[in-house]
Amino acid sequence: MPKAVLTISSKNYSSWCLRGWLMCKLAGLELDEEVVSLADPSARAELLLLSPSFLVPSLTHDGVRIWDTLAIGEYLAETFPKAGLLPTDRAARARCRAICGEMHSGFYNLRSALPMNLKAHHPGFKVWTGAQADIDRVTTIWRECLNVSGGPFLFGGLTMADAMYAPVCSRFATYDVMLDAACSAYKRSIMEWPAMAQWTADARAEVEELEELDVEF
Ligand SMILES: N[C@@H](CCC(=O)N[C@@H](CS)C(=O)NCC(=O)O)C(=O)O
């Protein structure tokens, strides 16, 4: 079987690519990374062939192409059931899917006001009320999950939910978001997850910069 290919864009800015890539690492999938620059028109034309939505990440594995992060997680969980992308307990599995769905379809204010930028650090960043409401909901989810599981990850061991919330941890670090002890410890565990540390190091070495996301706050 040919090696899997994950099409991604910037490691510094693309939070969905980070999620998809972490899910592949969790599944133990050996893959080649195909990096496309979304600013480049010829790369966009090529991407259209790989990802009908124009969006990345897009995974090609065993003749199957999947161009949505949540679908990538579900595909990997189904294809590699022993990898633990979903909890084994039925109720925990349902909660895991629910919080992955919440991340996938919500938190618009948080995502737009605090864009992922692994190279940046904005101490004293002023969070506006709309984004704060999203932060409060995220930290409520984390506290509830960590209380039930005992940590260190949302469902004890790593699952696809941790991949979904990993870019939020990096945003909290970038924008100096104040957290309680439990959420801080969770953020630290995610940032120290070796796959996350590897992605972060790659992102910091990346040359491409998007001016609109590198404004001074
Ligand atoms: N719902 C999609 C969202 C993917 C997405 O928005 N990807 C961004 C990069 S983080 C993208 O490809 N944007 C296209 C562009 O910038 O032209 C998923 O779950 O994969």
69 close to ligand 1 (CB < 6 Angstrom): yes
**Nearest of 174, 160, 165, 115 to residue 137 by alpha carbon:** 165
127 Cα: distance to centroid of ligand 1 (angstroms): 24
58 Cα: distance to centroid of ligand 1 (angstroms): 10
38 close to ligand 1 (CB < 6 Angstrom): yes
**Maximum distance among all Cα pairs of the chain, rounded to whole angstroms:** 50
pLDDT, tens digit, for every residue of 59-93? 999 999 999 999 999 999 999 999 999 999 999 99
Q: What is the pTM of this model?
A: 0.94
Q: Where are the beta strands (DSSP E) in the chain?
A: 4-8, 31-35, 58-61, 64-66
pLDDT, tens digit, for every residue of 136-173? 999 999 999 999 999 999 999 999 999 999 999 999 99
166 Cα: distance to centroid of ligand 1 (angstroms): 16
pLDDT, tens digit, for every residue of 99-115? 999 999 999 999 999 99
- Measured from the CA of 51, which atom of ligand 1 is nearest? 12
Calpha distance 72→174 (Å, rounded): 27
Strands 31-35 and 4-8, bridge-based pairing? parallel
Calpha distance 183→38 (Å, rounded): 33
Angle, helices 194-205/181-192, rounded to nearest 10 degrees: 70
